[in-house]
Amino acid sequence: MKNLCIIPARGGSKRIPRKNIIDFLGKPLIAYSIENALNSGIFDEVVLSSDDEEIIEVALKYGAKAPFVRDKNLSDDYASSTAAVQNAIEILQSQNQIYDHVCCLYATAPLLNKNILKQAYEKFIQNESKFLFAATEFEYPIQRAFYLNENNQVYMFDEKHYKSRSQDLTKAYHDAGAFYFGTSKAWLEEDFIFKPHSSVFVLPRNLVCDIDTIQDLEFAKILYKVNHESAF
């Protein structure tokens, strides 16, 4: 079986300009994902999907391949990662490069390591699900969540759980924003992963950080250092 890793990395990030190649403890952020993918030993190719020449140059330096430049219409603020992966698979298929399994690995996942990717891939193969993606448990029961109206007044989403004990409530999980394994067929046919045809690889919260703001970036650096204390 042939396995492909696609790392989507557009150039137009707004909240953190040049986010995908911003310095992260001495290396461009995207370098961590590329190196983890290459060192995992599970991928025949590690391919970048980007519309940005500088990101392509950095990715090539760290060992990824960039056999195409992503179309601008798949690189705006509304373009999805799924669309980018589908586009990459179709382009590679047109070049007679056929893969059985495809992993979408985010450029902003420096807290992962090669062993996590290997373990997740093994679980994906064993489960025989269409997709397997990284997830983590919500740190607070979502059943007791509330929202604020325009007058800053508090409303529970579901008041019946106001007095429920946390241990009595069903655990809830969310997408970790890290990696997504799937069959090539599933990627091309499905546009919604959060269904029973998917399974998850649960990550501890110290390996998850959605990097959208400078504060997120700095927090991710702290987590990385804590997770690699012997290296600092």
60-73 tens-digit pLDDT: 999 999 999 999 88
pLDDT at position 126 is 98
Strands (E) across 80-172 are located at 101-105, 131-137, 146-148, 154-156
Which tokens go with 224?
């990385």
In a 3-state reduction of DSSP, which class is residue 43? Answer: coil
From residue 156, how far is each of 9, 148, 159, 167, 169 by CA, in Å?
Answer: 37, 9, 6, 19, 16
pTM over 0.85: yes
- Burial (0-12, 13-18, 19+ Cβ within 10 Å), 64: buried
Run of H or E residues at 181: strand 173-183
Q: Specify the residue for token string 């991928």.
A: 43
122-169 tens-digit pLDDT: 999 999 999 999 999 999 999 999 999 999 999 999 999 999 999 999
Residue among 2, 64, 69, 66 at smallest CA distance from 36? 64
Fold of 3-135+173-231: Spore Coat Polysaccharide Biosynthesis Protein SpsA; Chain A (3.90.550)
Segments in the chain below pLDDT 50: none
